[in-house]
């Protein structure tokens, strides 16, 4: 019996001393393995008397159970230490918040253009695109804007050379389309235009949507009908719309439209008119047979009114705090 007590003591101290999983396994085999010390004892007591057998086997069994338990406990302890060391080495800070993947949102100008396109598509317009690098003829001359006309200066044009320029208006596309197509014509051109101008309502690049209808009996009331319906559709029926007589060399009569929402300051958002007979002549369309009306919408102005934005420059600063307010639509 004494020897068994000694063994139990050495088992305990061996387990306590073992400091790796491998080492612990060696100890497990030493005591619990087939050829281990505990099994050797079981074998020894075979020859004992029945009474002694009972006594000894009870004690040995308890030692065995205790050993198993102690080894398992130690194993858990060693694994925990190992895990802690591993985590320290890999330097994972599990308390660090995850990296959020933010959904993008569509730019308010793109949303505005899409919305306007949808309206005009529904009432039978086609969508056409054109070059941003234009020539003097399409941007000015063919639109009846003579070389000496002051409106040329007011456009603050970016010139490449004496002929090529960044288009200052999408109206140049009226010419390009009428040169190619035969009436009836009904299209819009969304696109970028450029003028050397910058303040809270002007940026050097901005967007316009040009519209043109050429047909046999187009008149000013057709134009007004379209503009009114378009603006009511875009802003809702409580918008106040003001048609103001104006002047553009390529339309006669000409008008500008001012919009005010909730009695706030009005903003000019488009120009329009009946296409000048000289412009039709420039593209070989008989102005006795056909008439045409046109309009040019300022997209940024529309978006500013719709979203209540005070400064046009916000659109192009690419500040995510601004852009992420516009949900993907
Ligand atoms: N192109 C003009 C501008 O940029 C706007 C405009 C006025 C377009 C009258 C038109 C129009 O089609 O008929 O200021």
Output 302 or 327, whichever has higher pLDDT. 302
How confident is residue 207, by pLDDT bands cut at 50, 70 and 90?
Answer: very high
Q: What is the pLDDT of residue 96?
A: 83
Ligand 1 atom closest to Cα of residue 296: 8
**Closest atom of ligand 1 relative to the 293 alpha carbon:** 13
Please report the pLDDT score of residue 232 as a whole number.
96
Tokens read off for 317: 């600063």
Looking up tokens 């967007």 gives 207
Look at residue 101 in the predicted model and tell me its pLDDT.
85
Mean pLDDT computed over 33-61: 88
Look over the chain and give the mean of its residue pLDDT values, rounded to a whole number: 92
Q: Which atom of ligand 1 is nearest to the CA of 251?
A: 13
pLDDT for 328: 57
- Provide the whole-model pTM: 0.71
End-to-end, the C-alpha distance of the chain in Å comes to: 85
Please give the distance, rounded to the nearest whole angstrom, from the Cα atom of residue 272 to the centre of ligand 1.
6
Q: Where are the domains of the chain?
A: 2-89, 108-323
Residue nearest to atom 3 of ligand 1 (CA): 169
Cα of 177 to ligand 1 centre, how many Å? Answer: 16
Give yes or no for a contact between 134 and 155, defined as CB atoms under 8 angstroms apart.
Answer: no
Specify the CATH class of 108-323 in words. alpha beta
Instruction: Please state, for a pLDDT cut of 90, what percent of the chain lies above it.
Output: 67
pLDDT above 80 for 97: yes
Mean pLDDT in residue range 124-129: 97
User: What share of the chain in percent tops pLDDT 70?
Assistant: 98
Which spans in the chain are helix H? 2-17, 21-32, 37-44, 50-90, 108-122, 136-139, 150-154, 172-180, 220-235, 277-282, 299-307, 320-323
- pLDDT at 154 exceeding the cut of 80: no
- Cα 271 to averaged position of ligand 1 atoms, centre (Å): 5
Cα(4)–Cα(223) distance, rounded to whole angstroms?
110
* Radius of gyration of the chain measured on its C-alpha atoms: 43
Kindly indicate the confidence band of residue 140, based on its pLDDT and cuts at 50, 70 and 90: very high
């Amino acid at each position: 019996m004494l020897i068994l007590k000694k063994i139990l003591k050495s088992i305990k101290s061996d387990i306590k001393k073992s400091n790796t999983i491998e080492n612990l396994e060696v100890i497990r085999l030493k005591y619990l393995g087939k050829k281990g010390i505990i099994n050797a004892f079981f074998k020894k007591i075979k020859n004992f008397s029945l009474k002694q057998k009972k006594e000894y086997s009870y004690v040995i069994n308890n030692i065995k159970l205790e050993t198993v338990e102690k080894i398992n406990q130690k194993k858990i302890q060693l694994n925990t230490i190992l895990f802690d060391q591993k985590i320290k080495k890999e330097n994972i800070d599990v308390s660090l918040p995850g990296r959020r993947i933010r959904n993008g949102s569509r730019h308010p100008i793109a949303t505005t253009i899409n919305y306007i396109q949808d309206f005009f598509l529904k009432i039978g317009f086609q969508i056409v695109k054109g070059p941003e690098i234009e020539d003097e003829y399409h941007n000015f001359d063919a639109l009846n804007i003579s070389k000496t006309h002051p409106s040329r200066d007011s456009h603050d044009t970016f010139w490449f050379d004496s002929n090529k320029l960044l288009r200052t208006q999408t109206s140049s596309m009226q010419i390009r389309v009428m040169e190619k197509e035969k009436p009836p014509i009904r299209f819009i051109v969304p696109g970028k235009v450029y003028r050397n101008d910058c303040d809270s309502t002007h940026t050097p690049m901005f967007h316009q949507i040009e519209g043109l209808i050429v047909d046999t009996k187009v008149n000013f009331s057709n134009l007004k009908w379209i503009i009114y319906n378009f603006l009511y559709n875009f802003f809702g029926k409580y918008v106040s719309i003001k048609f103001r007589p104006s002047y553009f060399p390529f339309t006669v009569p000409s008008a500008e439209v001012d919009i005010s929402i909730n009695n706030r300051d009005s903003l000019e958002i488009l120009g329009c008119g009946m296409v000048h007979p000289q412009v039709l002549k420039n593209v070989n369309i008989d102005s006795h047979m056909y008439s045409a009306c046109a309009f040019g919408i300022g997209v940024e102005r529309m978006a500013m009114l719709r979203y209540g934005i005070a400064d046009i420059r916000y659109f192009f600063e690419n500040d995510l705090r601004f852009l992420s307010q516009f949900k993907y639509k």
